[in-house]
Amino acid sequence: MKPLRARTRVRAPTWLLAALLIQQVTDNHGVTLHVQDPIINTTVSQDIVLAIECLCNGTPSIKWDHMSSRGIQHIIQWKAGSYLNISQSYSDRVHSYENGSIKLLNVGVKDTGFYVVTVTEEFGLTKHGTIVLNVHEILYEDFYFVAVFIAFLAAGSAVLVCFLWICNKCANIYHKKKQLKRAEEIEMRIISDQ
């Protein structure tokens, strides 16, 4: 009986210890990363937020890179309470948030591309997320065309209204002359009948 008890005692604590160890490992190494808008369409001169939410135990290191046809460009990297490293070309155009999101100010067509966020936990576990940003230029030529077209329609309408007003005046004058002529004819008949 004694060896059986010893076996039972050893198995239960070992199984419990293994379960606690697995729970501790998953608790310490769990990183979740959620990209809120994976595709963003905007126009030039707008301020846009590349929104993510990352959760992990400890303080993560967050890095954003821009990938385009011109290559990969580092934007920003930080660890809360530790360091902040912003690329010189983005130094006055980017703001970081505690949840890992960044805000780009006054975007241009050159900002079109893929934005890759890398979240690295203290224990080395890494998660990546991607946002596609499409920046479109406002074509003022279209606005000029529409403005000229509207001005042309307004001028045509004004000419048409003036023409109709003149036709109306001429018709009124013609009807008055006709009525006056009839009145004269009636008067002449009355005078001739007497």
CATH number at residue 33: 2.60.40.10
pLDDT for the residue numbered 148? 86
**Domain interval for residue 152:** 139-194
Co-location of 70 and 110 in the same domain: yes
Report for 20-29, 82-91, 126-135: range of highest mean pLDDT: 126-135
62, exposed or middle or buried, with CB in 10 Å at 0-12, 13-18, 19+?
buried
pLDDT for the residue numbered 27? 43
Separation CA 130–CA 39 (nearest Å):
9
Co-location of 156 and 186 in the same domain: yes
Q: Is 153 part of any domain?
A: yes
Q: Is 173 part of any domain?
A: yes
Mean pLDDT of the chain: 82
pLDDT for the residue numbered 7? 38
Q: Is the pLDDT of residue 10 over 70?
A: no
31 pLDDT band, cuts 50/70/90, is: confident
Domain end position, chosen among 138, 155, 181 = 138
Q: Is the pLDDT of residue 5 over 60?
A: no
Q: What are phi and psi of 12, to 5 degrees?
A: -60, -50
Separation CA 172–CA 91 (nearest Å):
75
Co-location of 125 and 192 in the same domain: no
Which residues 6+ apart lie within 8 Å of 137 measured at CB? 43, 44, 109
Separation CA 64–CA 104 (nearest Å):
12
